[in-house]
Structure 1
């Protein structure tokens, strides 16, 4: 009976060992599962961190581009302001020069004792000459370059008188009127 008890004891030991083995395998499988879940969570966290870093980099690049664009726009604005200031200065210089030339022409007209009508005709002639490049032949002076409304405003006259003044100015130019004031002036001063 010993052998039977020994065999049964061996079977019981094998069964206990088998149960211990099964429990150990179950615990190992549970540990593997937990480790796999933790590895998955770590991979997900790593992916999320990489996405967040990429988004942050993208936002930083957009911010950098926006700042660079703002700097370029500021430089363009400064250049435009400088150009506008230079243009305003040049315009003021031209107006001053035109006023000086007009004053010289008026002084010459005073010296020549011209009538008011003769002075007005010469003033319109200077307006016409100022609208054409210096040295333009009289035959190529287009009286329409100075509108009647501009003559009316400048001389304070009606449309008919303005038309007559423009016709007299064209005749003066055809007869050789080329004052230094007209040759040098780029425009008349506005009063």
Structure 2
């Protein structure tokens, strides 16, 4: 059975909810209350639940486009002849995402098909960089995302504007093989 298209007012409400949720999750992470998202969107909590039965479903809808863009970027970088540069450029991009958005650690690690695609696409870059000798051979894609999750948390534990860059530099240096 095909889904019926939304009425114009329902479509506007859904779009407002997604916009409010995107901003709220980016500012406060997944912990933001659903009532706050509803208030930001100018709708009642019931309207949010009509469109998204759970907070997790709303979060998945919010991150789907953003993570899909990261997947596309990682796949584009897979053809770069300099595998090490491609990997570290993508790592920098992921670090920037983490610094800018408080929900980045959840967005890149919650189970779901789009996040699995991100791990796969970044895994290709990681493997190519390892084969080229630019990244330590024993690091797995799971290790990398665990490091990123910790990195993103650390970035938001301080108001120091230089902290994100310093932490990313340490992670980057630690991924390189010893000389």
TM-score range for the pair, normalised by the shorter chain length: under 0.3
Task: Specify the structure having the higher radius of gyration (Cα).
Answer: 1
Q: Relative to total residues, which structure has the larger helix share, 1 or 2?
A: 1
TM-score by length of 2: 0.27
TM-score by length of 1: 0.26
